[in-house]
């Protein structure tokens, strides 16, 4: 049996090579081939039974023997939107739920605190050896403020737990609140004060001082935060996007930030990545841009490797997989 280890959408990295050697040692009867460029993968994938990575459409179509595709991340939108044939195939798709959520939630709170306590300005003052206490007599408190979270899955639940620790009132909307509770032994996840169905998204936007997008990108969430919904938000509210670009209308967001409708935003994921140098987001003083890097801790990488290794063991012993994705739903 052959497993093509294609990394993250292209040639593998050094840490991937180390992981492949570990897999070869544990599973000596399996052939693990390191993925090359997309052009090289067109040949490599032909006889591969398992693919680890995000295949380009032409690579996926070149596969003749693929039975299982493992995404070494959580979002499967690249495959669903870019390769419609995948949704209609019998190929099982699994992902790596879990390890990304704590660092992404940490990143959200870091963004919120950076905005609320004007930490960027204070860093600039430090660099300039400038001291002015009175300049910062209007910092924002978080205690008692309302945070609204779109999607109460792994990321949203971790954000809620942290926000609750800061004394915030935590609301969340989710398409499947019953599933969220089921995954939490029948309870609302810790830190969420109110868990609503997606049909109350507008209501949540109207009451949120801080609004966080933690949803996967699916056909249903694509563009769900449009200009109308941005218009529903409180004047002077803050906007955080941590999961996927395309869920919010970027142009509408830019206009709301320029007009003062929204006081600020922090964004870790964009429709086009890398973010074009011509994007207005780069130069907006009330925006924090981070390069889709919120989850990238050593613990996340190790957690993802452990999930794949365990799923490979289960595949070989015909046991149920961890984290099978719904290809039609897109997550």
Query: Is 244 annotated as catalytic?
Result: yes
Tokens of 125: 């003052």
Sequence-distant (≥ 6) Cβ neighbours of residue 156 within 8 angstroms:
149, 150, 172, 174, 212, 214, 215
Q: Where are the domains of the chain?
A: 2-98+297-316, 101-289
What confidence score (pLDDT) does residue 78 get? 65
Pairing outcome for strands 31-34 and 2-5: parallel
Please pick, among 164, 292, 309, 314, the residue that the annotation labels catalytic: 292
Rounded Cα gap, residues 101 and 73, in angstroms: 11
What confidence score (pLDDT) does residue 13 get? 79
Rounded Cα gap, residues 228 and 205, in angstroms: 11
What confidence score (pLDDT) does residue 162 get? 98
Q: Quick one: DSSP state of residue 137?
A: T
What confidence score (pLDDT) does residue 12 get? 75
pTM score of the predicted model: 0.93
Q: Quick one: DSSP state of residue 169?
A: E
Please pick, among 107, 162, 229, 244, the residue that the annotation labels catalytic: 244
Please pick, among 121, 273, 299, 310, the residue that the annotation labels catalytic: 273
What confidence score (pLDDT) does residue 10 get? 55
What dotted CATH number matches 2-98+297-316? 3.40.50.720
> Do the beta carbons of residue 35 and residue 44 sit within 8 Å?
yes
Query: Is 310 annotated as catalytic?
Result: no
Query: Architecture of 101-289 per CATH?
Result: 3-Layer(aba) Sandwich (3.40)
Cβ atoms < 10 Å from Cβ of 233: 22
What confidence score (pLDDT) does residue 9 get? 52
Q: Which residue has the tokens 């704590």?
A: 102
pLDDT tens digits for 6-22? Answer: 976 556 778 889 999 99
What confidence score (pLDDT) does residue 321 get? 98
Tokens of 73: 């991340």
In CATH terms, are 2-98+297-316 and 101-289 the same topology? Answer: yes
What confidence score (pLDDT) does residue 241 get? 98
In the chain, which residue ranges form alpha helices assigned H by DSSP?
14-26, 38-44, 57-62, 77-82, 84-87, 101-116, 119-127, 154-165, 177-183, 201-207, 227-232, 250-259, 298-316
Low-confidence ranges of the chain (pLDDT < 50): none
What confidence score (pLDDT) does residue 5 get? 95
């Amino acid at each position: 049996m052959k497993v093509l280890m294609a990394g993250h959408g292209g040639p593998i990295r050094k840490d991937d090579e180390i992981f492949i050697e570990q897999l070869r040692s544990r599973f000596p009867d399996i052939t693990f081939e390191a993925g090359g460029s997309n052009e090289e993968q067109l040949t490599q994938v032909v006889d591969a039974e398992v693919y680890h990575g995000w295949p380009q459409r032409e690579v996926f179509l070149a596969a003749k023997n693929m039975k299982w595709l493992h995404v070494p991340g959580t979002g499967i939108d690249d495959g669903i939107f870019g390769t419609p044939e995948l949704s209609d195939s019998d190929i099982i798709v699994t992902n790596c739920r879990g390890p990304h959520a704590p660092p992404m939630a940490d990143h959200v709170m870091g963004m919120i605190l950076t905005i609320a306590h004007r930490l960027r300005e204070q860093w600039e003052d430090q660099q300039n050896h400038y001291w002015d206490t009175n300049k910062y007599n209007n910092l924002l408190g978080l205690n008692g403020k309302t945070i609204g979270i779109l999607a109460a899955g792994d990321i949203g639940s971790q954000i809620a737990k942290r926000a609750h620790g800061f004394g915030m009132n935590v609301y969340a909307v989710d398409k499947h609140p019953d599933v969220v509770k089921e995954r939490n032994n029948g309870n609302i996840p810790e830190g969420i004060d109110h868990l609503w169905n997606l049909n109350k998204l507008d209501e949540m936007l109207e009451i949120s001082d801080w609004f966080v997008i933690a949803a996967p990108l699916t056909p249903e969430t694509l563009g769900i935060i449009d200009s109308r919904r941005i218009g529903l938000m409180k004047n002077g509210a803050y906007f955080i996007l941590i999961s996927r670009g395309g869920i919010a209308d970027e142009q509408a967001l830019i206009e709301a930030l320029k007009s003062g409708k929204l006081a600020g935003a922090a964004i870790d994921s964009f429709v086009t990545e890398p973010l074009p140098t011509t994007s207005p987001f780069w130069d907006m003083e009330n925006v924090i841009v981070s390069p889709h890097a919120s989850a990238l801790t050593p613990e996340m990488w190790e957690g993802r490797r452990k999930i794949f290794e365990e799923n490979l063991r289960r595949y070989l012993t015909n046991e149920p997989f961890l984290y099978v994705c719904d290809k039609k739903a897109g997550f």
